[in-house]
Amino acid sequence: DGKLTDKDANGHKKKKAKPNKNPGGTFQSLDLYPSLLRALLLRGFRLPTPIQRRSIPLALAGRDVVAMARTGSGKTLAFLIPIVNKLKAHSERVGARALILEPTRELAVQTAKVAKEVSKYTDLRIAVVVGGEGLEDQFEAMAGNPDIVVATPGRLVHLIIEMSLSLSTVEAVVYDEADRLFELGFAPQLREIQHRLSPNRQTSLFSATLPSLLVEFARAGLRDPVMVRLEAEGR
Ligand code: ADP
Ligand code: MG
């Protein structure tokens, strides 16, 4: 009568077709903080990209993650979603709770913009700390007790020293574009920053390529990290 059988030619039970054709699930199925999920959905993000699908659950579970995937694969949301999900709302306690390190001012500004979008329905405060901009505005931004700081290493170290900032309240640190961050020029600044971080923080490292030296992983202070590596895989 044209009805489909639930057995295949070998008599094995067929998998039922699910309304959700995406095997990795949706952002909806990740059990995210409602204000975060709302911002993602209203921004038109419904399905995680492969790198997001694999790294977000690990980060949500508290693991340190080393994620490698090509440019344009969606790494920004892969690290921002777990951070916003963890912080949820502004804290009156003094000190930043998440730190995102970027190798260039442009990348920092861009990441902060995405962070503001996804935390649009929260009262999280986000500060951008980058070189080439007036120090006064950044002093002010840091004095406003931001929850999330997106920074380039040089300017952050400058502010740390000038304002005697402590980074001991940082619960999650992200090294974005880690291969570029770990270029030797940033080594002294990264050391300054790392000395001030709590050993209990969560650390994630995102990159398009594998950083060439193992010592660089040590420099980031990763603890039993999970490696997620997507080769030529598409989105
Ligand atoms: P990468 O840092 O890996 O180079 P980005 O994080 O900048 O990549 O993301 C590349 C583009 O993909 C951006 O325009 C971003 O808005 C888009 N994007 C990210 N995640 C998703 C998603 N889940 N669904 C649709 N578009 C996405
Ligand atoms: Mg990126």
pLDDT tens per residue, range 74-89: 999 999 999 999 999 9
Average pLDDT score over residue span 181-187: 85
> What was the pLDDT predicted at 25?
87
| Ligand 1 shell residues, CB under 6 Å | 45, 47-49, 52, 69, 71-77
How does pLDDT run across 86-135, given as a tens digit for each residue?
Answer: 999 999 999 999 999 999 999 999 999 999 999 999 999 999 999 987 88
Ligand 1 atom with least separation from CA of 71: 4
DSSP class per residue in 95-135: S-SEEEE-SSHHHHHHHHHHHHHHTTTS---EEEE-TTS-H
> Which residue, 50, 20, 36, 48, is CA-closest to 83?
36
Measure 227 CA to ligand 2 centroid, in angstroms: 17
What ipTM does the predicted assembly reach? 0.99
Q: What residue type is 224 in one-letter code?
A: D
pLDDT in tens, 13-40: 555 544 445 555 899 999 999 999 999 9
What's the N-to-C CA distance of the chain in angstroms?
Answer: 40
Instruction: State how far the Cα of 151 lies from the Cα of 153, in Å rounded to an integer.
Output: 6
Question: What proportion of the chain, given as a percentage, has pLDDT over 70?
Answer: 86
Contact between 151 and 175 under an 8 Å Cβ cutoff? The reply is no
Q: Which ligand is nearest to the CA of 80?
A: 1
Quote the pTM value: 0.89
Average pLDDT over the chain, rounded to an integer = 89
Q: What is the CA(71)–ligand 1 centre distance, in A?
A: 9
